Amino acid sequence: TRSVCLSFITGTVQLRASAVITACHPPTRRHQGHHHRPSSAKITTIHNNLSPTLYLISYFKMKIDTSLTMLQLPEALSQAGLQFSVATEEDFDEIMGMSQGIYGGLDYLPTRYTDWLQETNRTVILARKQGKVIALESVVVIDDGETMLVEGLRVAPQERGKGVAGVLLRFCSDLVKSKFPDVKVTRLTRDDQLGPKDFQKYRLITKQVQATSLSMYRPVLYKPQFKSVGFTIDGILLVRFRAEELKLRLSDLGLGDIQSSLSTSFKPPPVRLDNTAIRRLYLTSDRMHGVLPNATIIQDWQPFKLLPSNMAIVLKKDIDWMVDDVANPTVASLCTFPFRVPIGDDWYYLNIDMFGKDLDHVRQQFLCHLQRHTATLKGHVMCQMFLDPPLWKPMMEFCRNILNVELVKEYTEQCVVESDVI
């Protein structure tokens, strides 16, 4: 069986189990037109009235003692019989089935799931009820092994509000700590409103503002296992357009060739960086420290400290990096290459993370990214830009009044929060 049993004692949920996790052969990549069915990673339960002991067998074997006691869970929690398992390639269709409509149709998981299963520093865990997948959480270890970043958390609609996310979060946290004992901090990204209790539990790391076209729901997580402390906030601007119509509009504005057009203005055009220039600028100098919030790169909801190990992760992605001036940067941006999202046929998502406060440079780099990444696209594009909060309104007006693209949602914020692991 692939299960961990829960017992309920007067409002306190305690995991009573000894679990054996066997990581078999790495999951085979998904190929177009057919699916491989790799050997499943298994979790076997041995009932035990003592504290649970997890035996992790991966490329190594080690024994750890860890308490998975959950205090102060909601009374509505009635999840007896929850089962946890390591996600595999063969679970993909069932996961997507319970994820329909999540993140307003901008779910990135379909394009990243297979890659996630290949990452040695990532753990993807499923929660099942009566054999059906009802929740997923991914945790990736970054910052030289000191931070676990929570991503992709989702709970099936019929199971929300019952404390499932909290139980899954704690299970993953203890599992990751057993494999990566140097982990000190849990970090996550949210776009919901932070309340007074959140500020007691988290440090705010960065803050960006968001104008989004569709709701980007991020579930509120159960957090009793953390000590309090800090956070960061960005604004988010999400617009929607047809690629063909935007290309015509740019041409009408005389911006069909953005680079040539910008080079004739009073400001020099943005500079695209190659990997060597990126490492030199971000790692071997402090020139970006005044541009990045809290010296942190936030790329498509993922916050990274300026460390060589983190840069190795980010540079594996298909991203365009720009700055206004290599010698003295004031604005920098990272833009993902477009990828399909499950809103409908021929829908693409473009993510732009913008750092800095100079409106003219922000506008320049935004236009460069749009021109470069929509030149060959046909179909609908959801473009989401994260930027400094005071720039949200002027950029929203520029998008709506000059580019004639559709604004889908009013001002919202992206918060990167973290808390110490106890």
pLDDT at 345: 85
Q: Does the structure show a pLDDT above 70 at 232? A: no
pLDDT-based confidence at 264, cuts 50/70/90? very low
Based on the number of CB atoms within 10 Å of its own CB, is 51 exposed (0-12), middle (13-18) or buried (19 or more)? Answer: middle
123 sits in which H/E element:
strand 122-129
Cβ atoms 178, 395 nearer than 8 A: no
Taking Cα atoms as reference points, which of 306, 278, 307 lies closest to residue 293? 306
313-318's contacts with Cβ under 8 Å and 24+ in sequence apart are 313/142, 315/275, 315/278
Q: Which CATH architecture has domain 233-420?
A: 3-Layer(aba) Sandwich (3.40)
The count of other CB atoms within 10 Å of the CB of residue 226 is 20
343-399 pLDDT, tens per residue?
888 999 999 999 999 999 999 999 999 999 999 999 999 999 999 999 999 999 999
Higher pLDDT, 151 or 30: 151
Q: Name the CATH superfamily housing domain 6-183.
A: Gcn5-related N-acetyltransferase (GNAT) (3.40.630.30)
Enter the pTM of the model: 0.73
Which pair of structure tokens corresponds to residue 73?
Answer: 């869970």
At 334, give phi and psi (nearest 5°).
Answer: -125, 130
Query: Where are the domain boundaries for CATH 3.40.630.30 in the chain?
Result: 6-183
Cβ atoms 212, 159 nearer than 8 A: no
pLDDT at 204: 44
Q: Does the structure show a pLDDT above 50 at 58? A: no
